[in-house]
Chain A
Amino acid sequence: MIKFENVDKVYASGTKALNKVNLEIEQGEFVAIIGLSGAGKSTLIRTVNKMIDITAGRLTVNGIDVSGLKGKELRKFRRKIGMVFQSFNLVMRTSVINNVLAARVADMSFIRTLLGLYSKQDKIQALEALDKVGILEKAYSRADQLSGGQQQRVALARTLAQNPEIILADEPVAALDPVMADVVMEDFKRINRDMNITVVINIHHVDLALQFADRIVGINAGKIVYDGPTRNVTNETLKMIYGRELTDDDLMKEKKND
């Protein structure tokens, strides 16, 4: 369980990115965080694995106080939390399998990492992860030869290869076309359902959030303005979260009734 209690984040520049955030996410939930860009979505997600440190309040993940973690403990904690990025963050000049295996090095000895000696167990785990996102046949291709959608699925496989309990995804489909975005979101959904992994996803596109998530958290200027099941979200709620009418930019696909 991820639990935010009165969490604040003020950047060194003075920007207040999170303002008294209270949020509880149970294991196995699929939560979409929506809001304008700059509303604090990205900050919120990155505090969970302490890629960004909070400045006030209390943040616990499965009972562990995150802001108290340092060095080795922090690294051990992060192993259970996967992260997927908007720009995929793959090493383009190496093979897909090497990218996925990179998620295993946290558990490996220094010498094994240096020499690239992955155990059979690690290799199987990496291939299984690729199989789960449906691109097993691309294992030995170079990452830069894949399409954007396939690259994001490699990134997802990399995350799966670390056996996470939680997956944090920061705008994972923003760089993809609508068809690929759907496929990748399906992958997230399936993983969430089959493996009982918590998925917390930042998403700018309201339609995708409503289609795939079980729960919507709306954030505006660092404050949570809506938190509830997807089915309760109305046009009024969206207007409140965005502070304006929705535009085409907020949707991945063209409006159906157009």
Chain B
Amino acid sequence: MMTEKHLTIESQLEKFPSVLPKFIIGLVSFVVFYILTTITISFKGINEKGILIAIAAFKGLFNPSMSVITDLGKYGLLQMLFETLAIAFLGTIIGLVFAIPLAFLSSRNICPRWINTICLTLISIIRAFPAFMLGIMFVKSIGPGAFAGVLSMAIGSIGMLSKLIIEVIEDLNPGIAEALDAAGCSTFEKIRYGLIPQLSSNIISIVLYRLDINVKNATILGIVQAGGIGAQLMFAINARRWSDTGAMLLGIIFMTIVLEYFSTRIRTRLAGQKD
């Protein structure tokens, strides 16, 4: 208390944090930033052709090709979009099938520590592995097409799905399992009546969230010949068929937004139920 009484405005003023460190950090990051820019970014300038292309592209995007939209064949918009959706959907479901046991094995409140560690390491390796590399590897081994896309999407989803499911499992209320234990339930019954009711709404939310992401990712699988709308989209852009491009981009935007809308609605409803 004594020292506090001796506080003066002057002594407090001296303690005012200096802006110098912040200033130096700012300056250094700016210089680093500038150097990075100069070594990496090479800009040759937009030539006139570029501007013309941009104008043509812009016009094309707003005049989507009706023939692509109405074509019901293999390279029609509808089939391509559905293939994209199918890859994302199946990938998510298969990913979930693998993620659930992996998540249980990784949860501290379910399994012993050493099993957790092994599974968590596995999950983080899968997570860090670049998704498009998986696509390439499946295309190389089982051949190009949507199946390769499904497989890479499935494995690519395992990481995030299991990580989020672990969080849910570790938040579980242990009281319910104990009560069922006391009632003499078997392990299966404990899972059926103790775990599933607690987990299902959370897991559905997580799956819907990942499905949203996967639909977006599935649109670019085509670049490595792993199915979906991507390949045709890239061809169209490269060939500068702008109105075809426009039709496909519109299709992607429409599909993503509709899905996002429903998944957000379902997720908010599920979140509301819990409370």
Contact = CB atoms under 8 A, between A and B. Distances in A.
Q: Please determine if A and B sit in direct contact within the complex, based on CB atoms under 8 angstroms apart.
A: yes
Interface of A: 97, 115-117, 120, 123-124, 127-128, 131, 136-137, 139-140
Nearest to A128: B9
B173 to A, nearest CB: 31
A123 B17 CA distance: 11
Given A124-B9, A137-B7, A116 B19 contact: yes
Interface residues of B, number: 9
A123 B13 contact: yes
Interface in B1-34: 4, 7, 9, 12-13, 15-17, 19
A137 B13 contact: no
A126 to B, nearest CB: 9
A148 B191 CA distance: 48
A115 B25 CA distance: 13
Main secondary structure, interface of A, reads helix
A43 B13 CA distance: 39
Given A124-B9, A124-B13, A140-B12, 12 more contacts: A115-B19, A117-B19, A123-B16, A127-B9, A127-B12, A127-B13, A136-B7, A136-B12, A139-B12, A139-B15, A140-B15, A140-B17
Contacts of B13: 120, 123-124, 127
Nearest to B23: A115
B19 A131 contact: no
25 contacts: A97-B16, A115-B19, A116-B19, A117-B19, A120-B13, A123-B13, A123-B16, A124-B9, A124-B13, A127-B9, A127-B12, A127-B13, A128-B9, A131-B9, A136-B7, A136-B9, A136-B12, A137-B4, A137-B7, A137-B12, A139-B12, A139-B15, A140-B12, A140-B15, A140-B17
A243 to B, nearest CB: 41
Contacts of A127: 9, 12-13
A120 B13 CA distance: 9
B27 to A, nearest CB: 12
A65 to B, nearest CB: 39
Contacts of A136: 7, 9, 12
A136 B5 CA distance: 10
Nearest to A95: B17
A109 B12 CA distance: 25
Contacts of A120: 13
Contacts of A137: 4, 7, 12
A136 B4 CA distance: 9
Contacts of B17: 140
A175 B90 CA distance: 56
Ranked 3 nearest A-B pairs via Cβ = A127-B9, A137-B4, A127-B12
Nearest to A127: B9
B135 to A, nearest CB: 43
Interface in B88-127: none
B18 to A, nearest CB: 11
Contacts of B12: 127, 136-137, 139-140
Nearest to A115: B19
Nearest to B17: A140
A116 B7 CA distance: 25
Listed residue (B13, B16, B19) with the most chain A CB atoms within 10 angstroms of its CB: B16
A249 to B, nearest CB: 32
A17 to B, nearest CB: 36
A115 B19 CA distance: 9
Nearest to A117: B19
A167 B13 CA distance: 26
Nearest to B3: A137
B22 to A, nearest CB: 8
